[in-house]
Structure 1
């Protein structure tokens, strides 16, 4: 080992010098993909704007929506099974083409009931154009890729936005009923931010979603333009769309990359990783032969049943597979009924309730809500966390009463 020490030191010096010179030449690439993702810290993510919503709407509830709007709004309606009735401002930034026809109808119904919808995108689904009576066109702006934005009624004028090869604007709208709140221009000025009354509520349409991204919020005074836009919204609860961002995240090529892809894009982490691998190989080479074999420690067998159950349940919860958990809860509950009370559980009708009440000694009216809820869940294909919690509480109450 002493004879090998000089070789190790020489190899270490060579590696360190090589890493230094190779690391100097590496330039970091910037991902300019327009994801508009509220969890992304990349230039065109919206994590900073998302975090600032709590300061812009103080003492208001900020909810992040991970489902199609129709599913969420129907569940959280007056006749729904959600934990509240959805009221306030629904904000969608970018990727509105992922909205289904049913979601568009439900969003418009949400507005019609006296709420507010804010959409910022380069172009909107055709159903919005037809229903709200608007049209969008664009101008090529490849010469300098700079546009200037202003807000009406506010002292916010000529906010410069770069990297804008195209400028979208409203080529047609109802000038009598619709209100123009902002303009964008290169040489000539056009309306790019309007308010559209709809039923008891209102829809805000904006055609430059890039202004809400990290790159623009942090650059110069552009944050004032973003604050000005948001100031037009009522001071109410916020429903922030994340569903459309999840679709771009799932369909992007990034999902094919390994877990080390981000680290390998950072020069410091990359060469630290390579250096650790090289030193690990050298360590194994010079320590292949040991003076004494390792004495293996034999641990006693452990009961891993509880750990296995926790692992499986955490897997389902992390993937938000509520349907699978609900089905298993119902299956295990009915199996226990068959085993303990010898009752056929094929049909959960009034006759079943009568037998179960007689054999358990529980009142029929105490059991009926649980059985009715199980029958209702069996008729549904999509479940939420609230459904699972409610089912679990009712099953626990059945055994404790």
Structure 2
């Protein structure tokens, strides 16, 4: 390898190592998206809560569900369980709503926390939510231009109150609260804001109970690590039935299923991902510039010509030119019987030669009789003319072409 190529190779390797070091020491950016993922440790994921959830539900089996409520209702038809759904939005299909009502009728508890509930879900399950922004807006003042409070203070109502303890959630804005309670008198308030606005309610449907919360972010890592948030979560889950299986939903909040791609770990790490891209680029450049031919072109050697066919044509022309048609016919007849013997295992001396040849060759009896009769006629003659030889050749060619 030339010195110039070595220099370029070392420069590329140095750049590769430098890129790995720089990317490896880059601080991991904080993911503030509302994922509610049980596998991520971002502020608004649910990794910590999910890991410590068995402490809230002792003697209960914890299971994650990536299926719709319709599928859950069918799969766990003979079980009793607490079904927990947490996400920014709850927008189930009509079949899923029917399934949730069926789950409740069978005596199971369902806990749903979301900032937005679809109109179909509200009408079918019997509740109503109102936007918190419009409730706070006073059109006769300049409140629209005032900075909204970024701290939410919640408390449970009697008989569930905790000695007037206020649960504080900083850096959070309440999107919706439960409204029109007079329209649904069966709905019972569990928790409210400092202004008395319901953020958590429950109702009985069939033999089960439905718990609804309009502050899903309270059940994420960010607030779970705070004392106030941890106590609020524990209080919320204390309403559910103990000693029951826990089904934790990861379907309705859109959690992405972990990829099975074998390169997933490499692609999710910035340093390794850029290293992979750089390696692929280096390999491409190597193929482009180093993959060229570095030796003389190998000359094409023509294969040795097979002269057997030419020899046969020469001998045949010699026989034909001398008019020795009888000799040529005898050789064709010998070749025919040799072919029959080797291909069909029939000897010419066999008494049933003709019958066996008809059966094995698959030719019509008329054609086989015509061929054998003409062979006998040819063998009995002392000489043949050109027409006789051509007729024999045509009969033999027809046999070889149509036999099996």
What TM-score results when the alignment is normalised by the length of structure 1?
Answer: 0.55
User: CA offset at residue 151 of structure 1?
Assistant: 3.1
User: Would you say the 8 A contact 1:95–1:244 is kept in 2?
Assistant: no
CA distance in structure 1 between the partners assigned to 2:268 and 2:237 by the alignment: 35
Counterpart of 1:170? 178
User: Would you say the 8 A contact 2:169–2:228 is kept in 1?
Assistant: no
User: Would you say the 8 A contact 1:156–1:225 is kept in 2?
Assistant: no
CA distance in structure 2 between the partners assigned to 1:193 and 1:44 by the alignment: 20
Deviations 1:95-149 (A, max 9, x none): 6544222222232232233321111111323344335543211223963533223
* Equivalences for residues 249-268 of structure 1 within 5 A: 249=256, 263=266, 266-268=269-271
Counterpart of 1:194? 201
User: 3-state SS of the aligned residue for 1:172?
Assistant: coil
Equivalenced residue count is 275
Counterpart of 2:323? none
**Correspondence 1:207 to 2:218:** no
User: Would you say the 8 A contact 1:63–1:238 is kept in 2?
Assistant: yes
Counterpart of 1:117? 110
Deviations 1:58-99 (A, max 9, x none): 22122333332233313433xxxxxxx121312111265442
RMSD: 4.1
User: CA offset at residue 207 of structure 1?
Assistant: 0.5
CA distance in structure 2 between the partners assigned to 1:61 and 1:124 by the alignment: 28
CA distance in structure 2 between the partners assigned to 1:18 and 1:94 by the alignment: 38
User: Would you say the 8 A contact 1:73–1:86 is kept in 2?
Assistant: no
**Alignment gaps of 5+ in structure 1:** 78-84, 290-401
Counterpart of 1:385? none
CA distance in structure 1 between the partners assigned to 2:97 and 2:117 by the alignment: 11
User: 3-state SS of the aligned residue for 2:198?
Assistant: strand
Counterpart of 2:84? 91
Residue of structure 1 aligned with 2:247, choices 234, 239, 259? 239
Counterpart of 1:369? none
**Correspondence 1:151 to 2:156:** yes
Counterpart of 1:33? 33
User: Would you say the 8 A contact 2:89–2:115 is kept in 1?
Assistant: no
What TM-score results when the alignment is normalised by the length of structure 2?
Answer: 0.55
User: Would you say the 8 A contact 1:156–1:224 is kept in 2?
Assistant: no
User: CA offset at residue 168 of structure 1?
Assistant: 1.6
CA distance in structure 1 between the partners assigned to 2:107 and 2:92 by the alignment: 21
CA distance in structure 1 between the partners assigned to 2:209 and 2:37 by the alignment: 25
User: CA offset at residue 231 of structure 1?
Assistant: 1.3
User: CA offset at residue 169 of structure 1?
Assistant: 1.2
**Alignment gaps of 5+ in structure 2:** 137-146, 293-404
